[in-house]
Structure 1
Amino acid sequence: MDTRIKLEARRRARGAVRPVTLAALAIIVVLAVASWFLVIQPHEEMVLSDAGGHPSSPVTTNTVQAPPPANVEAMGTDQLLAEARKAMNDQRYLAPAGNNAFEFYLKALEREPGNPVATDALRETFPFAASAAEQQINAGNFNEAQREIDLLAKADPANYTLTILRSKLDAQRKVADKAQQDAADQARQQQLAAQKAAEEKAAADKAAQEQATQVAATTTRPAGPATTQKPASTPNQTAQVAPVQSSSTPAVLIRSVQPRYPTQAQRARTEGFVVLSFTVKPDGHTADIKVVEAQPRHVFERAAIDAVDRWEFKPATRNGEPVDSTVTNRINFKL
């Protein structure tokens, strides 16, 4: 009898535990939801508000004139962080060069490795800065986009977003090169058509002149019987044939490639030029590229040589045969 009573009491106790467990679980769920709405979500909104918006929101372009580059070398860590916050408020994440949030934060980390403020800010701001770099790609500002991608890589070199941005930049550059090549091909076709028309006109003029000469010779010939008197002549009189002059045409550029602006020069806002001398081979490619003059020196030479090495020409001709020719060209680098 006692055993049955104990078993019945245990069954009742287990039945009472189940509602208590469900009630405890419900309380935990309610507390989790409340903590999300009351703590986590307001904190995220505050972080996004400080950063300037949501990563999916387009970065607005500041119409105010960009400030000049700052002298970061003369700033301390606190001043760098203050300037970085100011740049964040102005949405100057990556631009202009020398006066943007990323460069200030990176310099602060250089001065004080592991600085938590700079580290957290770079991590939270990375999506907005990547969006700004993507807008530069879409606008066709390839040199500026490359500079901003390089700056992002200093902050987080392993971020997969960099792979996407670099792929998009490369694709847009290829599209631009293709458009430029198509324009050069069209200009070449127009030039060849004009050259052909000029040659046909010259041939027609020559034929008309020869025909006029023949008609003039026929009309001046005297009529009637020929006399035995011979015209006076000078000794050793022979027919003179005008020497045939060899015809030649210069080399004509049919495909050019714009040089890439060196990143360091663009950061320093440096401009200049390079004068190159090179040989155009009979196959239309360039060779023996040499620097004749450069200002400033050792800044733009490599970019200019790389560009000219990819140029293509219609080679110079002599008597209709393609020959080597020397060309001198000046390439300007301006921002």
Structure 2
Amino acid sequence: MDTRHRFPMRRRMRGAINPVTLAVLIIVVVLAVAAYFLIIKPYHDANEGLVQQGATTAAKPGASREAPPANVDALSVDQLLAEARTAMNDQRLVAPAGNNAFEFYMKVLQKQPGNAVAADALRETFSYGAAATEQTINARDFNEAQREIDLLAKADPANYTLTILRSKLDAQRKTLDREQQQAQDAQKAQLAQQNAAATAKAQAEQQAAAAAAEAQRQQAARDQAARVAQQQPAAAQPQAPRAAAPARSAADEAITEAVLVRQVNPRYPTAAMRANQEGWVDVELTVGADGVVSNVNVVDAQPKHIFDRSAVDAVSKWEFKPAMRNGEPMTVTLRRRLQFNLGR
């Protein structure tokens, strides 16, 4: 049998491509390319946009406050996704309430539980939503922070980040309570200090006023004592008649003292007599050149103001032979003591 042309034919048959197989391969390639451009690429572009927008939201917490759709429940899935994309562009990731991307995506999942775009968007942007919530906690907007934590819990209730956020929220609340308590304590301490200062000032003013009043009283007493001393300048001890001094100091002058020629005994006060009181009165008197007594004053007495009037009345009626100097009468001042004794 001639086999010279059989082996080349077999080789050609083994190296040739079946047209059916080629057609199938072409169809698969075309479908793969179409799927990439129609499904895979748009999906990845959308996810990358969500991630970038989520990062921007975490970095810039100031979200737009435009009004939410009038009736969210009436929106279709496509409309909800469009609202979610708009919210992401406006940096409304988890706030404000009712008008944020997370709520729109979760509404999509309520209408269409298997929607991959919404589920992936929530999963991939969860960390950025948590970062935005953490900033709300740091801003100490505790009610809003609690709402955002509850919203994140609806999206991924088992995520451990929620535990961290709740711990931070509780810590911030305690810190704020402690700061408020410290501020109240400081305010109370300041008020107590002000009250103490006011009380001390009032006491100091009262003490100063009392000291000034006492000083005025003492000065008035000194002034009164000075006036009394001026009115009663006589010495406490009995003195010799002043007319005698010139007689001792001037040897060339002949001076004689005034001599009592008529003495009137004082009347014993009735009240003192009834009280069995005794005493004495020192009086100072002026004897004129005619021997008449004038200017009778009480300079000392014991007891005081009991026998004064009787003594002055009696002495005023005395008569003297005037004192003489070189034979000429002169006026002199004398001091006498009158005794008041009850005869027993």
TM-score range, shorter chain: 0.3 to 0.5
> What TM-score, normalized by structure 2, do the two folds share?
0.45
Larger radius of gyration: 2
